[in-house]
Amino acid sequence: MAITKIHCIKGKVMKSVNYICNGKKTADEQYVTTYGCGRHTADLDFEMALSTAARSDRADSNSAYHIIQSFAPGEGTPEQIHQIGIDLMDRLFDGRYSYILATHLDHEFLHNHIIFCAVDNVDHHRYNDCRKTYYNLRNTSDELCRENSLSVIEPDQDKSKGLKYKEWMSRKNKNSWKDIIRMDIDSCIQTSTSYTEFITNMKAMDYEIKGDDLSGKTGKYISFRPENKDRFVRGSSRSLGSDYTREKITERIDAIVNSRTEQNTTAPVKEKAPGTIQSHGTMINISEKKFLESPGLTRWAKNQNLKTACSIMAAEGDPEAIRQKLTEERRLRDETCSKISDLEHEVHDLDDVIQYAGYYLDNLKYHRAYIKSKNKDAYERNHDSQLIYYTGGVNVLRKHGINPKDMTSEALAGLQYHREELSTKLSGLYRKYSTHKANISALDHDLKQLEKFMKPQSRDLFMKQCEARTKKRSHDLSL
């Protein structure tokens, strides 16, 4: 049986991605799979897809969606549950949406977290999150459970209705539904920057909440009621546990926020990268009532708009020139993003090699002793973990085309030095990407302001005024 939930993610996705890919929950990211994006570049990859959204869809502020697929306690293996998550995305989207899948092993029940981009890579349309698509998600998940011999909530024969979650769960495991609430609370704590935002995020996941007032006026305990459940569950030491009281939730959120603040304040102040383009102001809307009632104010506003337009033209050229610059900046942004993705994969593979090369070298002596031992069975029983690490190191090195016999401490040091070089190169690419992204924003702003000002009937007059102002400025400077 799999319980499925889906909720939207607004703004940046990396906080959510980092949470679901937590190594403590995914066996050092062994159960993390990406499709159409990178583990560490998801925000960039999703942003590129979002920028291609159909014009009619751009008002939607959702940048991604988060699916949670939870299985009954004791059902399935990590490998099986992870593969079910991959199969679910294949059947739902047929390769059209980029996604990151992480299988969490830290609860008594296994569960998948899937974050997918809100815009598909084929038609560039946004995902339609509605009742119909949710039922399709749930039914597809149920089909996969049946195919993998996992339990499914079957329709009630008497009422042609799905068996209530509470009724089904009480037959399977009396208290396990509280684990789902804890998991949802943990997820919202990680992605919230304040207690108020936490409450908003929980409600977005279809929870009804009472007793959330920090003053305690609305109740001694905060209580949560999942959608379609009959009763509330208290955030108390006796019910959900001491980590889920109102005070502890606030404390956990503050600790996360303070940790991020410390990281930001200790980081060096970023200087503007060379080649960064600055925007040149915003046109004044002279159709507002206050301008219509004041001719003098209107003349002043028109003069300010002329100054802004001339400033844009002097710096970036006419609208056609700005469009050409925009095209080039977008090309450079996409090219840089592609390089980042390739380099991220190279770094990931190199990290794999470095880690397992260390396992190989640390446990090589146990392998040699095993070869020389007279009672190999006894030696293997006493040193099974060391021999497993050694074998794993050999297999990974060979997978990457490296002869284990060539791996020495000096060779490992060389790989670690190369890793530092790649990290430096990657940082440079991220700076370039940020520069191109800022340039696109500035140029797009200037183009819109210029097009707003340069109506077809006044274009020739504007060009003459702009040239006259430029000549006057040059004359004044020469004096």
User: What local confidence, expressed as pLDDT, does residue 471 receive?
Assistant: 59
What is the band of 88 on the pLDDT scale with cuts at 50, 70, 90?
very high
- Average pLDDT of the segment spanning 178-188: 80
Whether the model clears a pTM of 0.75, i.e. scores above it, the answer is no
**Residues 6 or more apart in contact with residue 174 via CB below 8 angstroms:** none
**Residues 6 or more apart in contact with residue 458 via CB below 8 angstroms:** none
What is the band of 94 on the pLDDT scale with cuts at 50, 70, 90?
confident
User: What local confidence, expressed as pLDDT, does residue 438 receive?
Assistant: 82
- Average pLDDT of the segment spanning 368-389: 89
- Average pLDDT of the segment spanning 164-176: 45
Helix 195-204 × helix 176-190 angle, to 10°: 130
pLDDT per residue as tens digits for the range 261-316: 665 555 454 455 556 676 666 777 777 777 677 777 777 777 777 877 888 888 88
User: What local confidence, expressed as pLDDT, does residue 162 receive?
Assistant: 40
The residue ranking higher by pLDDT, 474 or 125, is: 125
User: What local confidence, expressed as pLDDT, does residue 309 receive?
Assistant: 81
- Is CATH 3.30.930.30 correct for 1-153? yes
pLDDT per residue as tens digits for the range 192-235: 888 888 888 788 777 889 888 777 677 788 999 887 678 888 88
Range in 161-170, 362-371, 434-443 the model is least confident about: 161-170
Residues 216, 228: Cα–Cα separation, whole Å: 26
- Average pLDDT of the segment spanning 422-430: 86
Residues 142, 152: Cα–Cα separation, whole Å: 6
Tell whether the model's pLDDT for residue 369 goes beyond 90: yes
pLDDT per residue as tens digits for the range 19-61: 999 888 888 888 899 888 878 778 877 887 888 776 656 566 7
User: What local confidence, expressed as pLDDT, does residue 373 receive?
Assistant: 93
Share of the chain above pLDDT 90, in %: 21
Tell whether the model's pLDDT for residue 416 goes beyond 60: yes
User: What local confidence, expressed as pLDDT, does residue 468 receive?
Assistant: 60
**Residues 6 or more apart in contact with residue 435 via CB below 8 angstroms:** 273, 275, 276
User: What local confidence, expressed as pLDDT, does residue 410 receive?
Assistant: 94
User: What local confidence, expressed as pLDDT, does residue 303 receive?
Assistant: 77
pLDDT per residue as tens digits for the range 439-473: 888 888 888 888 877 765 445 555 555 566 555 55
Tell whether the model's pLDDT for residue 419 goes beyond 50: yes
Highest-confidence segment of 140-154, 407-421, 445-459: 407-421
Tell whether the model's pLDDT for residue 64 goes beyond 60: yes
- Average pLDDT of the segment spanning 360-379: 92
The residue ranking higher by pLDDT, 327 or 156, is: 327
Q: Are the beta carbons of 337 and 416 closer than 8 angstroms?
A: no
Tell whether the model's pLDDT for residue 385 goes beyond 80: yes
- The mean pLDDT value of the chain amounts to 80
User: What local confidence, expressed as pLDDT, does residue 144 receive?
Assistant: 92
Share of the chain above pLDDT 70, in %: 82
User: What local confidence, expressed as pLDDT, does residue 364 receive?
Assistant: 93
